[in-house]
Chains A and B, each alone.
Chain A
Amino acid sequence: MGRFKEKKSGGMPKISTASLPDIMFILLCFFMVSTTMRETTLIVKIRLPAASEVQKLERKNLVSFIYVGQPIKGTYGTESRIQLNDQFATIDDIQAFVATEREARDESDRRLMTTSIKADRDTRMGIVSDIKQELRKAGAFKINYSSRKTARLK
């Protein structure tokens, strides 16, 4: 019969886990600072086109987004639709949308506002052109065609 012998020394010392929460919080803070919150839930399908000459969108808080694409839910048909904020919109809503977006910003920042068009790559240009016309009428001249960065054509 074996006898259990209590170890006195020479075993592995216990690793202190007291600093683990701190490490986690640092990680957490890093993520909070380096990322942006997902603000709108997409109800249209968007696969961005690819381009090589893309620029980064600076000052996210001055950017308003217009989404264009096929509705994700099949019950809304397959026709490309415009999404503003969290709901479907028509072409006539764009001017009001731009006005609200402008109202929400600081007066000094208003001329720096950019409208980013996030459209699916299979969208027809007709709807995009209509949006551009409305934006011109609304006075939102700075636009950005959202696209993924890829290598250039050879």
Chain B
Amino acid sequence: MRKKKEVPEINAASMADIAFLLLIFFLVTVTMDVDTGITRKLPPPVEDDSSVDFNQRNIFEVLVNSANMLLVEGKPGNLLTLTEDTKTFFLNPNNDPNLPEKKLERIELMGDIYVSKGVISLKNDRGTSYEMYIKVQNELTRAFQEMRDELSIEKFGTKYNNLVDPLKQEAIQAVIPIAISEAEPEDVGKTK
């Protein structure tokens, strides 16, 4: 009988080191952070500059100047109260004649419901810093998010982001659209 040829064993001790090196290479080249941000939808470009006629009471003016100062409805504003101010404006709980009109609309899953005609008009200067702009956008987004959450809890018993049914989400979106209109920035501060 022939002697069985023995296969020499390969030393696998360095395999771990090789894998470890690969691991370190990946750790260095990848970015762990998830990209997050505020999502917005831009309006399509308009052909002629025919301004849509809005009733003054329906517009909530937010101005940010080149010194990053806020002017809300003609008065110096505060970033801390902006969310609350926006909500009170948009929802108009006491039917104040100076706050936006509401229209009774029939929306699926909701029945007849009052929909606010309010629009937030955000205007900034070319010199406004991006950080301030994001802060303002953030507060406005928060206002709309909170209003949607409140409505969603009232109607469906859960927060807006937890709604699974896209129809329910659409219904909420129909009642509270993110009505933020952005005007062309002005170059008042003359800062580049």
Contacts and interface: CB of A to CB of B under 8 A. Distances in A.
Given A57-B37, A125-B129, 10 more contacts: A28-B26, A31-B23, A31-B26, A31-B27, A37-B30, A38-B30, A56-B36, A57-B34, A121-B129, A137-B45
B30 A124 contact: no
Contacts of A146: 35-37
Interface string B5-31: 000000011011011101100110111
A101 to B, nearest CB: 16
Contacts of B41: 141-143
Nearest to A68: B130
A144 B42 contact: no
A66 interface: no
By DSSP majority rule, is chain A's interface helix, strand, loop, or mixed? mixed
A54 B125 contact: no
Among A53, A57, A123, A145, which residue has the most Cβ atoms of chain B within 10 A? A53
Interface string B133-168: 111011101100100000000000000000000000
Contact of B35 (A25, A38, A52, A57): A57
Interface string A38-79: 100000000001111111110010010000100000000001
Interface in A114-143: 114, 116, 119-126, 128-129, 132, 135-137, 139-143
A55 B38 CA distance: 6
Nearest to A126: B126
18 contacts: A24-B20, A24-B22, A27-B23, A37-B29, A49-B131, A53-B141, A57-B36, A114-B39, A116-B35, A125-B126, A125-B185, A126-B187, A126-B192, A132-B42, A141-B44, A142-B42, A145-B38, A153-B139
Given A20-B16, A51-B134, A53-B141, A63 B42 contact: no
Interface in A1-50: 17-18, 20-21, 23-25, 27-28, 31-32, 35-38, 49-50
Contacts of A154: 80
Contacts of B13: 17
A86 B19 CA distance: 31
Given A28-B19, A136-B45, A36 B125 contact: no
A112 B39 CA distance: 13
Contacts of A105: none
B137 A25 contact: no
A147 interface: yes
Point out which of A18, A57, A123, A129 has the most chain B C-beta atoms below 10 A from its C-beta.
A129
A136 to B, nearest CB: 5
Contacts of A136: 42-45
B23 A123 contact: no
Nearest to B127: A124
B30 A35 contact: yes
B19 A126 contact: no
B134 A49 contact: yes
B31 A125 contact: no
B52 interface: no
B42 A141 contact: yes
A110 interface: no
B30 A128 contact: no
Contacts of A28: 19, 22-23, 26
